Amino acid sequence: MSGVRVLVGTRKGAFVLAADGKREKWDVSGPHFAGWEMYHVKGSPADPNRLYASQSSGWFGQLIQRSNDGGKTWEAVGNKFVYDGVPGTHQWYDGTPHPWEFKRVWHLEPSLTDPETVYAGVEDAAFFQTRDGGQTWAELSGLRKHGSGPKWQPGAGGMCLHTIILDPSNSKRIYIAISAAGAFRSDDAGESWRPINSGLKSGQIPDPAAEVGHCVHHVAMHKSRPGTLFMQKHWDVMRSDDAGDSWHEVSGNLPTDFGFVIDVHAHEPETIYVVPIKSDSEHYVHEGKLRVYRSRSGGNEWQALTKGLPQENCYVNVLRDAMAVDSLDECGVYFGTTGGQVYASANSGGDWAPIVRDLPAVLSVEVQTLP
Amino acid sequence: MSRVRIELPYHLRTLAQVPGELELQVAGAVTQRSILDALEAKYPVLQGTIRDHITRQRRPFLRFFACAEDWSHQPPDAPLPEEVATGAEPLLIIGAIAGG
């Protein structure tokens, strides 16, 4: 019988939540790497038992863990992330030049076809690749050495490369996003990059047509329409139908268009999900109600999904990598909160129930649909 | 060769899969550098967790103590006390009490 495996990264360890295709009874294992910050855990599409995890700590730095058995056992692999050449500088918060310094891995994106190949998005923003299952990492420095690099500036959470999307129809096309530089696209497998931020409007930037400087929070794509991208920006929900060459706003009737997560239904490429957050000054849900908003029209028209979610006295946040969908016939949607809850819906968001309620703050949620 | 004793902080013991204090054989002068070189050679998983891969600088939130003295700011090639070199006293690698 088919099933799902939900991979949860938290501030104090990783958890693996597993269920059969009904998604009613859950087996919870963890914490793995107890006490460590687990920014991201993700499985290889080419080998579901191959998992990669980013393990970090302010005391002990960065580690990368790998599992060959779906998360039952793990082994530490390479943790040497060295910028290519002389790192140079980017802008600091006050606008002064600041040297590039590696801090942590925010996102691991395994190749769609090779379990040994993984891309890593790191802070300070850069794009790394391993071809040997994580033993060694090399920077694809064309991104960081893009001419705009010295103008990049950290967002409040640091200058992180947090989103990596691989185009399933074109192995050379990769999208990434950086806070607070913006989105970029490579059409040559990561060798060279171009900013794809035309149409983004960020009120605090003096130049409304600035090619970088936009605080992109997350980007999502449906595998059947790799040229269509959906973005949750700092403020504004945006859409592109030309692979990021231009963007237009689809915030529509959302109660607030600030937020972090955005994702696309597994089988309906025009059905998208966001969790509106009150504001950039108050990083919790609007009106004390935890509501997922779904648009079945690719944006603009949004419907609140509330059944099974707390509708009073709720003040959690849902971070940028903390929502995912499964690809069972009835699409499952999952998200984790800074309050430690992981919610699941087995019917495209119609009904929700917590899988777990009391984990450490959730940093990331990924789902594997198992045969 | 000198037989030295090392105490690691909890998370590094877990990472290296050592239950408690560990012992190492160190060639030549017993210094912070020679101990860490031997430690990382025997437990490669600790590479990058105590000192930076490239600069070899001690990570900011870690401290080195020996014989009730803080050696963290001493040069990495300074000889450690005789008690450490003979195994009478351990080198303590301690995580700063900071954060949550």
- The pLDDT tens digits for B46-82 are 999 999 999 999 999 999 999 999 999 999 999 999 9
Q: Please report residues of A whose CB lies closer than 8 A to that of B9.
A: 59
Question: What domains sit in chain A, N to C, each tagged with a CATH number?
Answer: 36-214 (2.130.10.10)
Q: Going by C-beta distance under 8 Å and a sequence separation of 6 or more, which residues neighbour residue B44?
A: none
Q: How far apart are CA A126 and CA A140, in angstroms?
A: 8
**CATH level 3 topology of B2-95:** Ubiquitin-like (UB roll) (3.10.20)
Distance set, CA A18 to CA A15, A337, A340, B11, B39 (Å):
10, 18, 17, 27, 38
Residue A91's pLDDT is 93
ipTM exceeding cut-off 0.90 for this assembly: yes
Q: Please report residues of B whose CB lies closer than 8 A to that of A35.
A: 10-11
Query: Is B45 at the interface with chain A, CB within 8 A?
Result: yes
Residue type, A62: Q
Which chain A residue lies closest to B47 (C-alpha atoms)?
A79
Place of tokens 């002064």: A96
Residue A1's pLDDT is 60
| Three-state DSSP class for residue B61 | coil
Residue A281's pLDDT is 93
Q: In a mutagenesis test of the A interface, which of B61, B63, B64 is the best target, namely the one with the most A β-carbons within 10 Å? A: B61
Q: How far apart are CA A96 and CA A79, in angstroms?
A: 30
Q: Please report residues of A whose CB lies closer than 8 A to that of B95.
A: 59-60
Tokens coding A330: 């009835």
Please report the residues numbered 65 through 94 in chain B whose beta carbons come closer than 8 angstroms to any beta carbon of chain A.
none
Q: In a mutagenesis test of the A interface, which of B49, B72, B94 is the best target, namely the one with the most A β-carbons within 10 Å? A: B49
Each residue's pLDDT, cut to its tens digit, for chain A (371 residues) gives 689 999 999 999 999 999 999 999 999 999 999 999 999 999 999 999 999 999 999 999 999 999 999 999 999 999 999 999 998 999 998 889 999 999 999 999 999 999 999 999 999 999 999 999 999 999 999 999 989 999 999 988 899 999 999 999 999 999 999 998 999 999 999 999 999 999 999 877 778 788 999 999 999 999 999 999 999 999 999 999 999 999 999 999 999 999 999 999 999 999 999 999 999 999 999 999 999 999 999 999 999 999 999 999 999 999 999 999 999 999 999 999 999 999 999 999 999 999 999 999 999 999 999 99
Residue A156's pLDDT is 85
* Of residues A35, A59, A80, nearest to B48 (C-beta): A80
pLDDT > 70? residue B100: no
Query: Nearest to residue A29, comparing CAs of A41, A46, A45, A47?
Result: A41
Q: Please report residues of A whose CB lies closer than 8 A to that of B61.
A: 58-59
Cα angle A105-A42-A233, degrees, rounded to a multiple of 5: 65
C-alpha dihedral sign at B45, B48, B51, B55: positive
* Other Cβ atoms closer than 10 A to A360: 20
- In chain B, where are the structural domains located? 2-95
Which chain A residue lies closest to B97 (C-alpha atoms)?
A59
| Three-state DSSP class for residue B19 | coil
Residue B91's pLDDT is 98
* 8 Å CB contact between A35 and A13: yes
Query: In the structure, what pLDDT confidence band is assigned to residue B99 with cuts at 50, 70 and 90?
Result: low
The radius of gyration of chain A's CA atoms, rounded to the nearest angstrom, is 19
Q: In a mutagenesis test of the B interface, which of A54, A55, A59, A75 is the best target, namely the one with the most B β-carbons within 10 Å? A: A59
